[in-house]
A and B are shown apart, each in its own frame.
Chain A
Amino acid sequence: MPAVDRANRVLLTILGLLLLAGGATGLAAGLGGLGDDVADRAVATNGTSDWLDRNGWFWWALAGAALVVGLLALWWLLSQLRVSRLDRVALEPESGDGYTELSGGALSAAVADDVERLPGVRRATTSVTGRREAPRVGVTADLDETGRLPELRRLIERETVPRLRRALGAETPIDVRLRLAPQTRRRVT
């Protein structure tokens, strides 16, 4: 899920910068970097209290900002848990009228079955993500024979991918991740 990871990196970086800026300012003030008068000044002066008393709107603005931050945090939290699997996929429309839909689960099972028939593949798991009209197929194949990698690759490129695209559309993006098996070779002694 690279999109989630990108969002995580951006948001963690922004939060990190804000915390670092705040902390560094506090340290600079406390250690005399902003002048001795600042270091000896109270964190909240009487001026601050007076200003807050006179400007009651500040607290409502703070609550509004907290609402925005809270909603953003909720979205962020949920996006860590969400798996964007499609439940239905539109098959390539043959003509202008009507189209056929296929359940995402059935498509996944069919693709996994197809990949498991390839030589050297022990097990395959599939996920269908993206949008209904523009699905994206992800396959993870566990291999049991690394030696047949070139042959396997040829078959994926020349047979599996064209077959899938005949059903889903010629442009369908397909991710295939291979997991190699450690090759145990019998040693001649």
Chain B
Amino acid sequence: MRALRRILAAVVALLLLAAAVVTIVEVVVAALDREPWVVPREDLAASLRDRTWSEAPVIAWSAAAALLGVALLALGLRRGRPAAVPLATEVDGLALSASRRSVERAVATAVSEEEGVQDARARLGRRRLKVRAESDLADGDVEQRVSRSVHGHLEALQPRREVAPRVQVRHRSR
């Protein structure tokens, strides 16, 4: 999320910068009574005078602006999943963390190596670690083994805030 936001922020900043440069140049060019640089100001003024608010192009532009606004708002307000889980430490000024992806991968690999597990996926949020495993054994022991493995990982990790594990095992019929 953070990387996506960074790329889009750069794009938006570049567009704003371009718009600002065009505006300044056009104002100066108009003051000097020269031909417009990129914006055909007479045509633009004429079409704004001719078109009413209820005409389709005006409504379409308004809708586009509103939609873009909603998209930027969503991008600005969404927190996304954290890049790393803060880990407990007693040392002041030390921020110890584990990268989220590496934790997900480590848990998924460990779980998928449990007996009877074919495939496993882990997804770590701010407060929850969701693990989904697929098994071809139809016994309850698989759940227990997976659960033990996940708990073991969390115990070794000691996150600063409690992370609740949620394990789901799907049994595939052979």
Binding site for B on A (CB under 8 A): 4-5, 8-27, 29-32, 38-46, 49, 59-60, 62-63, 66-67, 69-70, 72-74, 76-77, 80-81, 140, 146-147, 149-150, 153, 156-157, 161, 171-185, 187
Contact = CB atoms under 8 A, between A and B. Distances in A.
Q: Is the interface of A mostly helix, strand, loop or mixed?
A: helix
Interface string B11-39: 01110110111011001101100000000
B2 A5 contact: yes
B76 interface: yes
Given A73-B13, A184-B109, A5 B77 contact: no
Given A21-B69, A178-B102, A67 B20 contact: yes
A16 B5 CA distance: 13
Interface centre among B24, B90, B153 (most CB of A within 10 A): B24
Interface string B106-127: 1011100101000000000000
B5 A5 contact: yes
Interface stretch (B51-59, B132-140, B161-169): B51-59
Nearest 6 A/B pairs, CB to CB = A26-B62, A23-B66, A70-B20, A20-B69, A19-B69, A16-B72
Interface in B57-113: 58-59, 61-77, 84, 87, 89-91, 93-99, 102-103, 105-106, 108-110, 113
B20 A73 contact: yes
Contacts of A156: 94, 96
A34 B113 CA distance: 64
Given A15-B12, A16-B76, A69-B20, A31 B59 contact: yes
Contacts of B49: 42-46, 49
B24 A63 contact: yes
Contacts, number: 235
5 contacts: A27-B59, A31-B54, A73-B14, A178-B99, A181-B106
B76 A161 contact: no
B103 to A, nearest CB: 6
A182 B12 contact: no
Contact of B97 (A72, A176, A185): A176
Nearest to A156: B96
B72 A41 contact: no
A183 to B, nearest CB: 6
Contacts of A25: 62
B95 A176 contact: yes
Nearest to B48: A44
Nearest to A71: B20
Given A5-B2, A18-B69, A26-B61, A66 B102 contact: no
A156 B110 CA distance: 25
A39 B54 contact: yes
A88 B161 CA distance: 36
